[in-house]
């Protein structure tokens, strides 16, 4: 690396900087630029990765090809369907149908049963939108002590709590001075049947 003669900085020094193979991952590191809005996402993912938890975040690709599927013209009865109703009314792009803010949306896989009362099961995938302002009653993904959790946001006056949707799990309450970071608002649950 060449030194800039007009620079007031010391320039490159042999042996300076972090040593390869040190740190949390025991391998060389590389600096990257992360958008400010995504810092909590990256840190939460890395924290879960270090702890070997089953948490995965998949970004909704912004350049994915448009793929549509047929939309039938009638609702499906839970009884016996009419054979006359088997024609296609329209086509729908699931990206447009399921996602409001593509650049701010992610898919997270759920681990655990604390939200089963809200229809969220272990292994389900959540579409999480970071551009939506969290409000009372929203199901949110929050960062607590560096870990991601999904709960229902409850605000009563100045009190905030994250409510589980399973009586076997306690709610998480916050006092003055405790920090709560809402990572995003859950907009859809992708549940395998």
What positions carry a catalytic annotation? 114, 151
Non-local CB neighbours of 192 within 8 Å, separated by 6+ positions:
123, 124
CB 99 within 8 A of CB 132: no
Q: Which residue has the tokens 């969220």?
A: 120
How far, in Å, CA of 43 to CA of 55, rounded? Answer: 12
How far, in Å, CA of 178 to CA of 174, rounded? Answer: 6
Cα distances from 75 to residues 3, 83, 122, 168, in angstroms, run 71, 13, 29, 36
Provide the Cα torsion 92, 109, 129, 70; round to 10°. 0
How far, in Å, CA of 180 to CA of 145, rounded? Answer: 9
> CB-side exposure of 142: number of CA atoms within 13 Å?
24
Q: 158 — phi, psi (to 5°)?
A: -95, -5
């Amino acid at each position: 690396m060449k030194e800039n003669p007009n620079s007031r900085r010391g320039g490159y020094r042999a042996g300076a900087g972090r040593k390869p193979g040190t740190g949390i991952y025991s391998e060389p590191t590389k600096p990257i630029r992360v958008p400010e809005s995504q810092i909590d996402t990256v840190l939460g993912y890395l924290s879960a990765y270090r702890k070997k938890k089953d948490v995965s975040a998949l970004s909704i690709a912004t350049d994915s090809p448009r793929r549509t599927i047929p939309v039938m013209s009638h609702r499906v009865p839970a009884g016996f369907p009419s054979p006359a109703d088997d024609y296609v009314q329209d086509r729908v792009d699931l990206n447009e149908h399921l996602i409001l803010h593509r650049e701010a949306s992610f898919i997270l896989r759920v681990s655990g049963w604390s939200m089963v009362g809200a229809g969220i099961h272990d292994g389900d995938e959540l579409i999480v939108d970071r551009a939506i302002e969290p409000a009372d009653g929203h199901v949110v993904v929050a960062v607590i002590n560096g870990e991601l959790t999904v709960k229902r946001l409850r605000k009563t006056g100045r009190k905030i709590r994250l409510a589980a949707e399973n009586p076997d799990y306690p709610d998480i309450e916050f006092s003055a001075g405790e920090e709560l970071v809402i990572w995003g608002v859950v907009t859809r649950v992708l549940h395998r049947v």
